[in-house]
Structure 1
Amino acid sequence: MFEIGFSIYSSSGRDINTQILDRVWDADFSYAFTSLHIPEEATPELRQEQHDLLQSLRDLDVNVMADIGPRTLSDMKLSSFEDLSMYPITHMRVDYGFNLEQMAKISEHCILVVNPSTFAEEDFFTLLELGVKRDRIVACHNFYPKEWSGLSLKRVSDSNRFYKNQNIKTMAFIAGDAQKRGPVYQGLPTVETMRHMAPLEAALKLREEAFTDVVLVGDIDLTEKSWEDMIALSHGYVILPCTLDPEYKHLYGVIQHDRIDSSDFLIRSLESRMYASRGHHVEVVGATHIGRGTILISNEDYSRYSGEFEIARTELSDCPRKNRIGQVSTDALYLLPYITHGMGFMLVEDLDN
């Protein structure tokens, strides 16, 4: 399962947040992030609106993770973290200003979220000695508003690897590609090289190259295309623009999956394998000039494999027992390495080509 989260801030205004909630209703997003300690979110005027907003998310069965600081309780006129746990919050993220005993206390009321790039490994084991259960801990990186201040992908990967080995869920942020959050307006990613990267590519990289379980959008909003991409990803597939020969247009809009025993050279459709095994008849044409993203179907010279649907990940030699039936769009070729081991994909017609 590919878990996706988003960020929501009461200071963004009721209209924007209502639009986000409407989108979440149609999506399968698991987490929402908000902050309770930055100045623009901690005003008394926004407190009730913030509570109502978070309650709406909980009503949608979304886990709510709130960033808290040492002054959060006083800013919110609360006396204890137990009082704060009465807020519609499931996860409290602490980064600085808390000792281990306070963190252990927080874990009694909410899931404790630590920063894996700053929280020492020995402190993690001390938390366990203090009685905190592993299933009460999550590791979530910061986002970095200022350009050139973000982490390297290797740094995120290295710190996440430790927590994954401890059976702790890991999270990181990607930047949005529509409305950026102020006051800097330069995107809110964890990894610096992802600051201007398409959200889908950034999410896939974090998942596949940095041991990240949950990808959170740090900014306020996404473009329409990126919303569609993230919703698809939350359902376990990617949208793959392409062109198909007219007789194969019935494959548009169909979710297929790469086989679990994935090939380094081809994406092999699990679903087509099922009907190919029944002897699907495909006339022999042969395929030449097989390059990255060439869409293929096995013809009757492949006997019982006739009808098996494939996408080339790389350049391959000519094959008379396969027919070329289409091509993945150039802008989508970067997706091919990520469609592995049961990952889903849906072909859609590229109307720009």
Structure 2
Amino acid sequence: MKREIGISIYPDRSELKTDQEYLKKAADLGFTRLFISMLEITDTKEKTKEKFQSLIYFSRKLGFEVMLDVAPSIFTDLEISYDDLSFFAELGAHGIRLDVGFDGFKESMMTYNEQGLIIELNMSHDIAYLDNILSYQANTSALYGCHNFYPQERTGLPYEFFKSCSERFKKYGLKTAAFVTCASKDQGPWDINDGLPTLEMHRHLPLTTQVKHLFATELIDVVIIGNGYASDEELLAMSKVNRTQIEFGYEPTTTQTDLEQKILAEQHYRRGDITEDVIRSTQVRVKYQEEANPLNTESHVFQVGDIVLGNDTFGKYKNELQVVLVAHEDSRKNKIGTILKEERFLLEYIYPWSKFRFQKQ
């Protein structure tokens, strides 16, 4: 399934002009999903329609798929029937996200709505919620899943729980989404905003690291910035994240050579017959077997996350690239760089035959 990136807008806490400027920047960088919260609305049905309609149609013209976050109170306050979702279609939305679920049968009926709207389910519950809906023969082509975000520090999902919840949706091939948080805390649904990630472990990580991690899990198809507004630098950096494989940010050694730069720029993959101590990329030693690589002056005591290359003393293993998983010493290898500290946990997602790349910082 195609992997996408997205942003969030909170119309009841923002200005239309500012939102439009933000949307234009994001669209120009390849962002394609827009999450819009309706949980805070206090206006009448007519005023709500006027406010949201202009924003949504502007977004659609930029190529965004627009999902509205709704709760049962929205249906009550705006006098909307679950059997008639035409109000959301008139706003221009592609679908609605049900922040709170119902009995399963109601969700299944909603997937057959005459307006052709997507029904997006809350993924952040490790229960048989989706199975119940599907037991009522729901239209799976109209079903998405999207996790919650968590504005309060220390309330985000733990990873193993997130994984279990997500697997319930992925096994049925549904499109899934989750949230990451940018440094800004200006925009969000509530007065508390300690960032808006799905995973608690992401709350203080760089935005790009959060994105890399969610894609690396292979459980999430769409990564959305939960809060706003992300800076121009953050939007640009997120747009450049490799969505198909992990691309480790690394710091080069001060003695890095042209050969090392060339090898680091190659496409790498881990050997299928793995070892616990290092990740081995062996094809580069074949391609560069004739290239000289003398012993360098860097330390030959290696730590986890170091990137090393077999030197001229290593015989047939000369110019084999390895990433260190267990600290060790070996003078037959040259240290050529170090994976960024905040990204070293991503090494556990490099499986047998996994593809990976490096990006100089």
Shorter chain as denominator, the TM-score bin is 0.7 to 0.9
What's the offset of the Cα at 1:217? 1.9
Give the 3 Å change call, closer, same or farther, for CA 302–184 of structure 1 in structure 2: same
2:65 equivalent to 1:53:
no
The SS at the match of 1:233 is coil
* Structure 2 residue aligned with 1:150: 156
What's the offset of the Cα at 1:307? 3.6
Q: Which runs of 5+ in 2 are unaligned?
A: none
> What aligned pairs does 1:316-335 form with structure 2 within 5 A after superposition?
316-320=328-332, 322-330=333-341, 332-335=343-346
Aligned residues: 345
> Whole-Å Cα distance in 1 between the matches of residues 213 and 312 of structure 2?
38
> Whole-Å Cα distance in 2 between the matches of residues 261 and 137 of structure 1?
37
The SS at the match of 1:84 is helix
Give the 3 Å change call, closer, same or farther, for CA 254–224 of structure 1 in structure 2: farther
* Structure 2 residue aligned with 1:132: 138
* Structure 1 residue aligned with 2:230: 222
CA contact (8 A) 1:175 1:219 kept: yes
> Whole-Å Cα distance in 1 between the matches of residues 319 and 260 of structure 2?
14
What's the offset of the Cα at 1:53? 2.8
2:31 equivalent to 1:29:
yes
CA contact (8 A) 1:179 1:222 kept: no
C-alpha offsets along residues 112-169 of structure 1, whole Å, 9 cap, x if unaligned? Answer: 2112334851x53443343323332222222222344433333222222222233333
2:293 equivalent to 1:283:
yes
> Whole-Å Cα distance in 2 between the matches of residues 335 and 310 of structure 1?
15
CA contact (8 A) 2:271 2:281 kept: no
CA contact (8 A) 1:139 1:163 kept: yes
Q: 1:174 aligns with which of 175, 180, 184?
A: 180
What's the offset of the Cα at 1:8? 1.9
The TM-score, its normalising length taken from structure 1, stands at 0.78
> What aligned pairs does 1:1-353 form with structure 2 within 5 A after superposition?
2-10=3-11, 11-39=13-41, 45=47, 47-72=49-74, 80-96=84-100, 98-108=102-112, 109-118=116-125, 120-121=127-128, 123-180=129-186, 181=188, 182-208=190-216, 211-223=219-231, 226-236=234-244, 237-238=246-247, 240-244=249-253, 245-248=255-258, 251=261, 256-259=266-269, 261=271, 263=274, 264-268=276-280, 273=283, 276-277=286-287, 279-285=289-295, 288-301=300-313, 306-320=318-332, 322-330=333-341, 332-338=343-349, 342-349=354-361
What's the offset of the Cα at 1:306? 4.1
State, as a whole percentage, how many aligned pairs show the same letter: 21
Q: Which runs of 5+ in 1 are unaligned?
A: none
The SS at the match of 1:24 is helix
> Whole-Å Cα distance in 2 between the matches of residues 53 and 2 of structure 1?
24
> Whole-Å Cα distance in 2 between the matches of residues 171 and 147 of structure 1?
21
What's the offset of the Cα at 1:242? 0.6
Letter in 2 for 1:259: Y
Q: Alpha carbon RMSD of aligned pairs, Å?
A: 3.7
